[in-house]
Amino acid sequence: MAGFKAHFFTAAVVGGIGATSLLSAGMLDQNSLLLCFAAVVLGGILPDIDSDTSTVLTVSFTSFSIIFSFFIIMSQAEYLSTIELLLFWFGVFLLFKLVVFGLFTSLTVHRGIFHSIPAAFLSMFICSISLSRLYSLDNRTVWVVSGFLFIGFMIHLILDELNSLNIFNLGGVSKSFGTAIKFYSPNIAATGLLYLATATLYTLTPATDDLLTTITDPATWQQVEENFYPSNGWFTGIKFKIWQWWSFSN
């Protein structure tokens, strides 16, 4: 499979390009941009949380715990003091790092059903439900952020599958080929439970009407395209100027 650095870097680059394009087109604000970036990176490492490799396991679990904990405390920022937020963050971090993931790893096998396309949908639905319950975000933004997590998850699966092809290795296709991108696992019970959980959580997700309207509107993609390249020369619209900084600092 591809290494942790490859998963992290690829998800960050693809997510950064996508989120910045939407920000430039006025479809995201700065706070939503950060959420999208965090979500795509989180999705990029999420499939390996069932790995038995100690390095991947430790880094993936720790990264997931930190990011998810910040998602939680950001929703409580206006209600708690700084020290309360720090204690709350630490408590949530320990809960997921030691309890949730400990239970998860004891019940899963690496490259099992969690390393699959339906698991990507399950993760996206959990993200959309969590964001809609914790934050006062509109449904479209919730689904955009959740979509970035889905994209990161799929990037991980695709990278693992491409790596198993051994394109630059004369040894031929690896035995792991076909185990990264799949719709089911040999464990029928685990597969059935995953599909049941995914279908159940889908009924709890926020409405997708606003998202579908935006996606199917040609003006949306025209706006993204128009803002992707500069129309009046490179960096001519930048507001920050060296001489302004120099005069301010002196």
* Distance separating alpha carbons of residues 147 and 35, to the nearest angstrom: 11
- Kindly indicate the confidence band of residue 179, based on its pLDDT and cuts at 50, 70 and 90: low
For the stretch 119-139, pLDDT in tens is 999 999 999 998 888 777 888
According to the model, what pLDDT value does residue 177 have? 54
According to the model, what pLDDT value does residue 204 have? 92
According to the model, what pLDDT value does residue 223 have? 77
Question: Can you tell me which residue has the tokens 């690829």?
Answer: 10
Q: What's the residue count for the chain? A: 250
Q: Note if the pTM is more than 0.75.
A: no
- Report residue 150: phi and psi, to 5°: -60, -45
According to the model, what pLDDT value does residue 109 have? 56
- Of all residues in the chain, the percent with pLDDT exceeding 90 is 16
Buried b (16+ CB within 10 A) or exposed e, 10-33: bbbebbeebbbbbbebebbeeebb
Half-sphere exposure of 125 (CA within 13 A, CB side): 18
Residues 6+ apart with CB under 8 A from 81: none
Question: Can you tell me which residue has the tokens 């960096």?
Answer: 235
- Average pLDDT (143-167) is 85
Neighbours of 103 (CB within 10 A): 10
3-state percent breakdown (helix, strand, coil) of the chain, nearest 5: 70, 0, 30
* Distance separating alpha carbons of residues 142 and 200, to the nearest angstrom: 19
According to the model, what pLDDT value does residue 195 have? 94
Q: Select from 64, 60, 47 the least CA-distant residue to 160.
A: 47
Q: Select from 157, 104, 94, 106 the least CA-distant residue to 126.
A: 104
- Tell me whether residue 214 is exposed, middle or buried, using C-beta atoms within 10 angstroms of its C-beta: 0 to 12, 13 to 18, 19 or more: middle
Ordered by start, the domain boundaries in the chain are: 4-174+190-226
According to the model, what pLDDT value does residue 128 have? 93
How far apart, in Å, do the first and last CA atoms of the chain sit? Answer: 54
Task: Please give the single-letter amino acid code of residue 12.
Answer: A
